[in-house]
Amino acid sequence: MQQTVKSVNYFGCGYCVNNLCRVFKGMHEKRKFPAGVFLIEHSKHGLILFDTGYSEKICKTGIIGRIYNLANPTKVSEQDTIKSQLEKQGIETDKIKYIILSHLHPDHIGGLLDFPKAKIVLSANALDAYRHRSLRQLIMKQFIPKDFEERVIEITKEKTNKTVFDNLKGHDLFDDKSIILVELEGHARGQLCALINHKILLAADSCWGNDLLDISDKMKFPANLIQYNMDDYRKSLEILKQFRKDGIKLMFSHDTYNRKKVL
């Protein structure tokens, strides 16, 4: 019998606050952007995390952390961390078998140190960004385990051969069509998104919210500078719109969700 994902649950692990007037013309809403983590339960491979949210130590990471918090005022407590929230549900950290990292920004890798036994799924481009990290890459080494590269399952172009739609290719993580990893560049180098049971797309930071998808290609110039490659970002937006047109539910890391269970 074909193995599938049984459920996907959402956790907001801290948040930052930004005024949308800095990003889009005509918008004046000050919005909380939660650091979303998704817990995937696979019928064969057990519990898998998509990203790990913020760490409560985000403001204690030297000058990069101070610059980050100045641009993105951040609020996160120890109780907000994914480790603490899972433990409240009776899930110990060693029960997490895999962690899919969409990319290596601090709001996605903050909890990585709390899962020392998990294998880490990462794109080859993101791994290369880690190896040649710079201030612009915004990779805080304080959140990276010492054995990071030893635990990485690297998703290369050679492994990406599953057709998702049209000419878009993805990597079938477990060879059962349950989790297909798609690389959507632009926001960060090598950003991975996950198509679950061909029903929902965990779309990371390829957009910051469903209500912003149709206007994100017209961001103000300063906001464009946040993206690693704005041309690729716009291309990814068009791919997202195609997913939406095909009936795939888009789940962004920084959107707000009213219920924990999303699949």
Q: What is the average pLDDT score of the chain?
A: 93
Between CA 68 and CA 111, with CA 124 as vertex, the angle to 5 degrees is 40
Residue 66 has pLDDT above 70, yes or no: yes
Residue 25 has pLDDT above 90, yes or no: no
Residue with tokens 């696979």: 42
Report how far residue 131's alpha carbon sits from residue 213's, in angstroms, rounded to the nearest whole number: 31
Mean pLDDT of 42-64: 92
More confident residue, 52 or 263: 52
pTM of the model: 0.95
DSSP assignment, residue 201? E
CATH T-level topology, domain 5-252: Metallo-beta-lactamase; Chain A (3.60.15)
Q: pLDDT value at position 221?
A: 86
DSSP assignment, residue 59? G
Sheet of 200-204: strands edge to edge?
162-165, 168-172, 179-183, 192-196, 200-204, 249-252
pLDDT band at 158 (very low <50, low <70, confident <90, very high): confident
More confident residue, 201 or 59: 201
Report how far residue 247's alpha carbon sits from residue 238's, in angstroms, rounded to the nearest whole number: 15
Mean pLDDT of 83-87: 98
**Nearest C-alpha neighbor of 257 from the set 20, 23, 38, 29:** 38
Token pair in block for residue 167: 């000419």
Beta-strand relationship, 5-19 and 119-123: unpaired
pLDDT band at 2 (very low <50, low <70, confident <90, very high): low
User: Percent of the chain scored above 90 by pLDDT?
Assistant: 76
Residue 80 has pLDDT above 90, yes or no: yes
Q: pLDDT value at position 72?
A: 86
Token pair in block for residue 199: 């029903």
pLDDT in tens, 242-251: 999 999 999 9
Determine which helix (DSSP H) or strand (DSSP E) holds 244, and give its type and residue range: helix 230-245
pLDDT in tens, 175-196: 999 999 999 999 999 999 999 9
